[in-house]
Structure 1
Amino acid sequence: MEATNIVQFPRRTSQASPTIATAIPVRQDAASVIQFSEGEMRRQARAQLCAHNEALRAERTLAWEAADVERRFFEVLNKLTFAVEMAQKWGVPEAVVRYPKMTPEDHRRAYERYIEALLRQVLTPAPTVAAIAWKERILYGLKPTFRDRDAKRGLRMIVDDKAFLKAHPARQCRSNASRRRPTEA
């Protein structure tokens, strides 16, 4: 063979490219192994748990907000229907010209739709303690409005919500935790 400046590589026999594991030798000595302290491992586990809890709460928050928007819409529609009905009854020109004739039946239907939306929100999983408190106020304040079966389902949902929030606590920042702990003088 004649000496040239061209470098020749041996031909590959297979089309498969070498994997990283075979192409790059890996040192398996103590310097290349990453070791975490016990405290660091606990912090990482806590961070993963917090992220998991946050994702579960985010799902509940989306469902809760959708039910809340629906309830608020029907609440406003109920009030508007009543206001237009009264304004038309008393001859307010704007109400007579702008809105179709409202009857007590229209107001009753709007009220029923509001109560249905309210019940749907009560039966939606609550994402926070404040939402649970709201559910309790609604159930105890309007209990005669709901059928007994729905009130029992609502109370069962509250128990389930409290269990969920206890099992999946929200992340506590250190400044809040330090305010709750009594300081030693």
Structure 2
Amino acid sequence: MNDARAKLIDHITAEAVFHGDFTLTSGKKASYYIDLRKVSLDHRVAPLIGQVMTDLIAPIPDVAAVGGLTMGADPIATAVLHQAAARGLTYDAFVVRKEPKDHGRGRQVEGPDVAGRRVVVLEDTSTTGGSPLKAAAALEREGAIIAAVAVVVDRATGARETIEAAGYPYFAAIGLADLGLAP
């Protein structure tokens, strides 16, 4: 395990894992909640997320841009954008709104044009895979080519299977065992 990944796991475990009774976006009940925004927006941890996620997606050929459904993917995409640029990689970032704007240009995908470009859909934590799939659908309507879906933490609750069944490669930087949690 590299140093950035080990430090990231330590931060997530100490600062972003909460124990109790929680209802997830999917409606499922859980005895813990992983709130990555507690760390993804932290000046100490965002660079680590950028490093770890750039390591994860760098082997994917011809990636032009990264991003995902707002709000969970936004800080992840920004972290990757900056860390990748520091390495000389030219990933742009984009944001996918939950619905198209009802004013201005009426866009659902914001940022540089994604038409004809290979993109990686990012997510902070993945439970069912619904958010990355919603982002992928919006991106494909804009002409993007989905190269993969990459998440920081996979909750091992079916997201991988759902995303792979939809035809997309799935990558996760951290699993529950890394955080000392059982699926």
The alignment's TM-score, normalised by the length of structure 1, stands at 0.30
TM-score after normalising by structure 2: 0.30
Structure with a larger share of its residues in strand? 2
Tell me which protein shows more helix as a share of its residues.
1
Highest CA radius of gyration, 1 or 2?
1
